[in-house]
Amino acid sequence: MNFAPTLPPGIAFVAVPAGASIKESLLHPEELALLQSTTSEARRIEFARGRVAAHQVLKVLNVGPSPILRIFGTRLPAWPSGVVGSLSHCPLGAVAIGAGENQVEAVGIDVEQERRVRPKLMEKIATTFEKSWVQSGDIISLFSAKECIYKALFPLVRAPLGFRDVEIEPDSSTRLPEWKFRARLLRAYGTKFQLGTSFLIHCLRSPEAKLQSGGSLLSICYILRRK
C-alpha cells in the first residue's frame, strides 16, 4: 500500500500496510476498550492498524497523542477538537487522513482491496449515466468514490445518503497515476449541501496492483473551508 496522493498543504495522509507489525499495545487503553466485544482477530487487527494510522496523522499535524474513540451511539470516529479526519481499512492495510478544521471542513477516505465484485453491485449503486461510462470490471472504483464522499459528508449532516443520490463522472483534471472524479449530489443533503453541489475525488491504485492482482484502491475527498 504505497500510496502518494497529491494533497494541499495542511492535509496529512498516512498508510499502514498489512505487512507492518502493529501490536494492540500501541493503542490507548480507551481504544482497546472499544474492542472488548470484538472476537474476530482480523477485525481487531484492522481496527488497530486504522488507529495507528490515525495517531500518525495527528503527529504529522503536530497534535498531541490522543485516543480516537467513537461519537456516542455511532461508529463515527471522534477526532480531537480542532481536527477533521477520516480512516479506512481493508485486509491489505489501513489509511487515515486529517487536517485542521480551520482550513478544511471535511475529509473522507476509503481503501478497498481490488476484487471481483458481484454484477449486482452495479445495479445497486450506479445511476443510468454511470452505467454508460463505468466498465463493469471497475465498479469497485465507483463504489470507493461513493464511500469516501459519504464518509466526508455524513459527519456534517448525520443523515442517510443513498448510493444513487450521488453521481460520479471522470474529471478532465485527471493526471495519471491519479484519477480525478467529480461527484454531484442528485438531491439536497441536509441544509448544508444543495442539489447539484459537486466535489472532487482523488483516486489511486497502489503500484503493487500492476505487479499482482489484488492490489488496493484509494479514494480521497476533501472540502476546503471557504475564506
Ligand X SMILES: CC(C)(COP(=O)(O)OP(=O)(O)OC[C@H]1O[C@@H](n2cnc3c(N)ncnc32)[C@H](O)[C@@H]1OP(=O)(O)O)[C@@H](O)C(=O)NCCC(=O)NCCS
Report the interface residues with ligand X, using CB under 6 A.
47, 50, 75-77, 86-89, 110, 146-147, 149-151, 154-155, 161-163, 166
Query: 99 or 210: whose CB is closer to ligand X?
Result: 99
Shortest distance in whole angstroms from residue 227 CB to ligand X = 26
In angstroms, the CA 1 to CA 221 distance is 18
Shortest distance in whole angstroms from residue 208 CB to ligand X = 19
User: In three state form, how does the secondary structure of the chain look?
Assistant: CCCCCCCCCCEEEEEEECCCCCCHHHCCHHHHHHCCCCCCHHHHHHHHHHHHHHHHHHHHCCCCCCCCEECCCCCCEECCCCEEEEEEEECCEEEEEEEECCCEEEEEEEEEECCCCCCHHHHHHCCHHHHHHCCHHHHHHHHHHHHHHHHHHHHHHCCCCCHHHEEEEECCCCECCEEEEEEEECCCECCCECCCCEEEEEEEECCHHHHCCCCEEEEEEEEECCC
Query: 75 or 116: whose CB is closer to ligand X?
Result: 75
Query: 159 or 211: whose CB is closer to ligand X?
Result: 159
Shortest distance in whole angstroms from residue 194 CB to ligand X = 16
Query: 75 or 175: whose CB is closer to ligand X?
Result: 75
Query: 51 or 211: whose CB is closer to ligand X?
Result: 51
Shortest distance in whole angstroms from residue 13 CB to ligand X = 15
Whose CB is nearest to ligand X?
A: 88
Shortest distance in whole angstroms from residue 30 CB to ligand X = 13
Shortest distance in whole angstroms from residue 53 CB to ligand X = 10
Query: 61 or 166: whose CB is closer to ligand X?
Result: 166
